[in-house]
Structure 1
């Protein structure tokens, strides 16, 4: 049972080689581009959504922070498309792997911290020791603030992994229940199937929301350091 339950989270192979790289690159093929002066409706919707998200994301940033706009937009589009593709049957979701999410979170977090230490050194170091701290609490607060700083990328990766994994496992369990009940009781099967449809709609929303939350938190870390 455990092997079947966690099969969607195992890394697929192609000719005995990990197929993670082609899977990660596949979402980029879903975004159409046009070489003509007049775009079609799909490209127009895509551009409008991108501009709306970019406006909401970059509203709080100064000129230096807005230089990250292309990276943040690429990040949210990649995570959203990867999460949505993972909801398809017999598919693999790279963002359900903690190693994959850590590989995204750690460099982005490190980039924001290095940016803060380079351009706002005093302000960045001041976060480790709030003003007016009693002398006896200074060592403890410095240690606590240091731990909280280094735990930020772990929290980013674990949040995304837990939400994606929990949703996939729940869908797998309810789908197995629908198949098991299909030969026993039609009414209960119908109700369970409706629950599965509602859960699928919820997971689509979660896939988009988690992409936005991940990118928004990176944006907030950047705002604190620019």
Structure 2
């Protein structure tokens, strides 16, 4: 089996871990807002660490200049802000809008994220396995975040599952697209640009949605 095929299987497995987040929240019925706030805080910290430890350094190692990485980072960040603005206009502010923004933004960032284990496997198979494991561990709290935001919005189990499934399938779709067009990585800088863009999306989700809710809920005055 070639590295491309192994990387594709690893990407699908990592993407499937997102659904485990829904399972976790399904087992823990009716979680309190404080528990959800702690979950959001954990997810935000995990996403920021993945940005700083994996995505941005890898983008820099691809040969992109720091300025180029920053531009793609800002582009991803701005996309989430635009989505948030459009959703607030269409749906209004509040938990429902936040749930849709989180689900949509995570789905968008999962599209290119699905390429990460494949790209890493093409460079070095053990690195591909490690990357897939990190993505899986990262995807579980993502699934929890989507489900938790859906619960806050008053959505039932089926709708929260559909939102989580959307993010899961988005990552699988991204992996499939790369699998069918592996020549995208003929220029490694393309992968670096993609990873920078993903990092910007993840950072914006943390700053715009996850951290504000966590701090608002967990501050002493809210007890």
Q: Bigger radius of gyration, 1 or 2?
A: 1
TM range (shorter): 0.3 to 0.5
Q: TM-score, structure 1 length as denominator? A: 0.37
Larger RCO: Structure 1 or Structure 2 (Cα < 8 Å, ≥ 6 residues apart)?
2
> Structure 1 or 2: larger helix share?
2
TM-score by length of 2: 0.38
